[in-house]
Amino acid sequence: MEDHALERVPEGERHGWLKISWNTVGLITTLVILFFGAVVCFVAGVKIALLAGVVAFVIGGSLGWAMARVAVETGYSSTLITRQYGLGLRGSALASVIFGFLIVGFLAIENGLLYRGFLFFLNLGDGWTARIALYGAMTLAWVLLTAFGFAVVTRTSSLMIVGFLIVLAWMMFVVISGVAEAPAEALLFGSQLEPAVLSGMGIHSDADKFIFAVNLLVGPACALALNTADFGRYGKSAGHVAAAAMIAIFFQSLLMMLVGGLLMKSAAPAMVNYFTEVAGMAPEAAERQVLQSPDSIAATFMVFGGPVGFLLMILAQAKAQVLNTYSSSLCIANLFDALFSWRPGRIAFVVLANVIALVMLYGEILHFVEEWIKLLGVLLSALATTIILDYYIISRRGGAGVLEPVNWAGVIAILGAVLCAHWLVRPYQPIEVLTSIACVALIYLPLRLTVLRPRERS
C-alpha cells in the first residue's frame, strides 16, 4: 500500500513503456479533455487548432522528455524530486501545494461531472440522498482502487482505456455517420462562433485564435510532463518513460482535441434540438448550452448512445479519478512529511485527497479551483523548468546530491515567473508558458550560480 511514496522505487520493480503509458494516457482520455478540444476547435477552427496542438505537443513533450531521465535516475515522484532538484526539503511543500491542489481540483471537478452524468442518465433529482449515495460510492471506489498501489492502478487504467477507445470509436461512427457534409468539410471546419461572441472573448484575428488555443492546450500538456515522474519512476529507462510521456501528450494535444471538436460539431444540431424540445430551452440558450461545460460532452454521449454512451462516460472518468487520486496521495504525502515529518502512511493521504475533493464540491473554493486551473500551464511549466535546470545544469556544477531545507532560488524563480507570465508580460507576450519558461531560466540560473549557491544541510 505504501508504494514507495517517500522513497526510491527499487530497480527490481521497474517496467517498460507500455505499462507506464496505460497511466499517462489514462489521465487525458477524459470528457474534460474532449471538452477542451471542442472549445478550441469551435473558437479557432480545426486548422488553427491543429497548429496550436503541435505547439503544445512540442512544449509539453520537451518538458516530459527532460523529466523522464530525472524520474528514472532518482526513482522519485514529482514532488519528491523537488527536494533534491529545485526547491529543497521543506521548499518541496510549494510543489505539493501547486501540483497537489491542481490534481485534487481535477478530482473534485470530475467527481461533479460524473455526478451530473448519473443524474442526467437516471433522471434523478439533485438532493442529499442522491449526493450521499453517488458521491459516497464514487469516493469508496477511488480509495479502494488506488490504495493497493501502482500494479492495481495500472491494471484498472489499462482495462478502462481499452473499453473507452472501443466505445469512443463506436460513438464517433454513430455521430458522424449522420452528417451530410463532405468528409473534408466535416473534418477541417472553421470557427463556429459568431464574430460578436469572439470579440467578447477578446479574439479579433487568427493570431488571437491561435494564442487562445495554445494557452488552453498547453496546460494539460505541462501537467503530463510532471505526471511523467509520478508514473515514470517505475520506468526501466529514460527512453521508456519519455515514450510514455510523448504518447500521452500526443493523445491530449492532437488526437483527443480533434475528436472532441469533431464530435461536438457533428452533434451540435441534434443537441440544440434536444435542449429545445426535451429540456424546453429557448433556441439561444440551447445553442449556448452545447458548449457551456464538460457536461455537454457527457450529454452528447448519452443522448446519442444511450446506455453505451453512459458506459463511455464511466470508463472515461473513472480511470482518470483513480489516477488523480494516486498522484494526489503522493503530493500530500510529501507535503506533510516535508513540513511536519508526519508519515501516517500513503493510504491515509488517499482518503484525505478524496475528502478534500468533496469539500471543494460544496464550498466556494470550487470556484477558486476553476480559476486556479487557468494558471495550470504557467505554474507547472515553471516548476518543471526549475527541476530540469537544476538537474541538468546546477547539479553538474558542484550541486549534485545537495539537500537544503529551502532552495530559495527555486522559490523566487517560480513565483517570479508566474507573476511575469500571467500578469506583467501578458499584454505584450500572451503565450504565457513561453514567458514562464524564459523567466525561470533568467531568474533561477543567475541566482543559483551566484548568491544562492547550493549549501549542504546543517
For residue 69, pLDDT over 70 is answered with yes
Residue labelled with grid coordinates 491530449: 252
User: What is the arithmetic mean of pLDDT over 204-215?
Assistant: 95
pLDDT of residue 400: 58
Amino acid at 152: V
Q: Which band of pLDDT confidence, cut at 50, 70 and 90, is reported for residue 362?
A: confident
Beta bridge partners of 15: 235
CB 420 within 8 A of CB 379: no
Distance set, CA 38 to CA 15, 193, 216, 255, 434 (Å): 35, 12, 11, 12, 24
Q: Which band of pLDDT confidence, cut at 50, 70 and 90, is reported for residue 401?
A: low
User: What is the arithmetic mean of pLDDT over 134-148?
Assistant: 93
User: What is the arithmetic mean of pLDDT over 391-406?
Assistant: 82
Which range has the worst mean pLDDT, 43-52, 307-316, 391-400?
391-400
pLDDT of residue 373: 64
**What percent of the chain is modeled with pLDDT above 70?**
94
Q: Which three cell numbers stand for residue 305?
A: 448512445
pLDDT in tens, 90-131: 999 999 999 988 888 889 888 988 998 999 999 899 999 999
**Closest listed residue to residue 148, CA positions, set 346, 353, 344, 321:** 346
3 state SS of 235: strand
Q: What is the pTM of this model?
A: 0.92
What is the 8-class DSSP label of residue 239? H
Which long-range contacts (C-beta less than 8 Å, at least 24 apart) are formed by 358-367?
358/108, 358/111, 358/135, 358/139, 360/104, 360/105, 360/108, 361/108, 361/111, 361/112, 361/135, 366/108, 366/109, 366/112
For residue 356, pLDDT over 50 is answered with yes
Residues in Cβ contact with 114 at an 8 Å cutoff, skipping those fewer than 6 apart: 134, 138, 313, 314, 317, 318, 321
Mean pLDDT of the chain: 90
91 against 312, higher pLDDT = 91
What are the two backbone dihedrals, phi and then psi, of residue 91, each rounded to the nearest 5 degrees?
-65, -25
pLDDT of residue 37: 92
